[in-house]
Amino acid sequence: MAKVAFIQFTMIDNLGPMILCAELKKHGHECEIIIASEEPDYKRRLRGNPPDIFAFSCTTGTHLIALREIKSLNEAFENSLMVMGGPHPTYFPEIIHQKGLDAICRGDGEGAMVDLADAVEAATDFSGIDNLWVKTDGEVKKNPLRPLDQNLDAIAYPDRDFYHRYKSVRIYPSKLFIASRGCPFECSFCFNHSLKKMYEGKGRYVRHRSVENVVDEIAKVKSEWKWLRTPYFADDSFLLNREWVYEFCELYRKRIGLPFLCQIRADLLDDDLAKTIKAGGCHLVSLGVESGNDFLREEVLKKTISREQIERAAAILRKHRILFRTYNMLSLPGETLDMAMETVELNRQIRVDCPWASIVQPYPKTQLGEYIVEQGLVGPDFDQSAMSASFFKGNVFDLPEKKEIENLQKLFYAVVKWPIPSSLVKRLVKLPKNPIFEAIFQVTYLFNTAKAYRMPLWFTAWLGFQMRKLYTKH
């Protein structure tokens, strides 16, 4: 059997590595997940029995952390393969040319990683495995994507066993689950548009697991993780299939009975669905407002949801006493302070429980990334490495009122939830950036997160401090 070690840096459970570990173990291979930030001396532990493969699941921004770690691993484990998967190499496969990387995996990785482990075990050539780009003596073999798995029930449940040794995950009261794959919508800030093009002709893009399969997994996790309080569904839009939601909520209520969190679109919610998910145990939903300015939301971000639909969804959620969090973006292309204040005003109007705002990250190879190039906000040779792994750091392009809007992001929760006159807010954000604004952001984000995830404040603060250290270091 081959031995695979997945290295991650975030201190939460990670669905990608968990699913891949489960599939690898199902096919007779040995694997583990290592949180490098919690086990900084893991290399010493592995030297006696080195992995055949080190694997990294990376988003844009975290790929920089991974590349630094790969350099260190190359020095300590010269006979181990270094493989990167996840969103970043899927959309930026040219990263394979970075020193130290042997292969990258594009798209869904279950079949590719099993095939790679099989080939390593058998000491046979693996350069022709679909979904992989493989580098040999400087030459790169670019293999096509395989068809999408249509039967998600056949994929093993995510293997969470490796996380028991890490305190941050062990006592984290929320666990990640996913009931579907794929999103039919075309928001310009999301990679779904590009991914659908990549997989065109390779099977149905939006797929659901069966209700029984999902509930069985949650029941298993509930029995094994005593700290579990709130399952969190990471699906892009939990309400896509109404009949699935009805069936799920009935079975979930009978067998699980825990409050759960999910993400929804405002235009898919109606009174009947809200009543159903509330009865099923829904504690909080997250919905994307993105911007209170209609032009920015509908034309720039391609979020085909109207102000009226957002207001209607909020009224329905309040009626059924479902807490809701909004996702908002500031520092959008062409945004002025007055436009940004429209986002504040809309969030105030709908009386959101947990307002959340980030600084926009217009990743290249998204429609939004292309838009900022077309508008001349960045050069055509813009390097995605300039993008931060954090959604809360400064914008990568200039705006006339950039400082004011970035200050507003730090104060967003406060100015939405507290009765601060808009005229005063506009004066406050004209002040230079300062540690007081940063402190307000940290404290309000702490309360926001604790409320949404039903976490103790002490634990939320501890975890936030650990993650801040990671992003500050890198």
Q: Is 304 part of a structural domain of the chain? A: yes
Give, in degrees to the nearest 5, the angle at Cα 348 between 229 and 328.
Answer: 65
Phi, psi torsion values for 30, nearest 5 degrees: -105, 135
Q: Judge whether 472 lies within some domain.
A: no
Beta 3-8 vs 30-35: how paired, if at all? Answer: parallel
Which residues does the chain have with pLDDT short of 70? Answer: 380, 383-394, 462-474
**Any bridge partners for residue 180, and if so which?**
208
Query: Does residue 304 sit in the same domain as residue 408?
Result: yes
- Residue 77's CATH number: 3.40.50.280
What pLDDT is recorded for position 379?
72
Does residue 30 belong to any structural domain of this protein?
Answer: yes
Domain match, 137 and 234 both: no
pLDDT by residue (tens digit) across 185-237?
Answer: 999 999 888 899 999 999 999 999 999 999 999 999 999 998 899 999 999 99
Residue 465: inside a domain, yes or no? no
One domain, residues 282 and 381: yes
* 302 and 240 share one domain: yes
User: Do residue 368 and residue 409 come from a single domain?
Assistant: yes
Same domain for 129 and 181?
A: no
Mark which of 127, 142, 157 sits at the end of a domain: 142
Residue 195: Cβ within 10 Å count: 18
Query: Which CATH number do you get for residue 216?
Result: 3.20.20.70
Chain segment 110-157, per-residue pLDDT in tens: 999 999 999 999 999 999 999 999 999 989 999 999 999 999 999 999
Does residue 391 lie within any of the structural domains?
yes
Structure tokens at 96: 């394979």
Residue 102 and residue 243 in one domain? no
Whether residue 231 is contained in a domain is answered as yes
Contact 135, 22 (CB under 8 A): no
The whole-number pLDDT of residue 446 equals 86
Give yes or no: residues 324 and 403 share one domain. Answer: yes
Given 121, 142, 163, which residue is the final one in a domain? 142
Collapse the DSSP code of 451 into the 3-class scheme (helix H, G, I; strand E, B; otherwise coil) and give the result.
Answer: helix
User: Residue 310 corresponds to which amino acid?
Assistant: I
463 within a domain of the structure (yes/no)? no
Q: Give the contacts of 4 (CB within 8 A, at least 6 positions apart).
A: 20, 21, 24, 29, 30, 31, 32, 51, 52, 53, 54, 55, 113, 117
| 128 and 193 fall within a common domain | no
Q: State which residues form the domain around 69.
A: 3-142
Taking a C-beta distance cutoff of 8 angstroms, is the pair 55, 19 a contact? no
Q: What is the reported pLDDT for 474?
A: 47
Residue 294 placed within a domain? yes
Same structural domain, 85 and 222: no
pLDDT reported for residue 230: 95
Closest CA to 365 of 95, 109, 131, 14: 95
Residues 186 and 56 in one domain: no
Q: 246 and 317 share a domain?
A: yes
Q: Give the total number of structural domains in the chain.
A: 2
Up-side HSE of residue 107: CA atoms within 13 Å toward CB?
Answer: 24
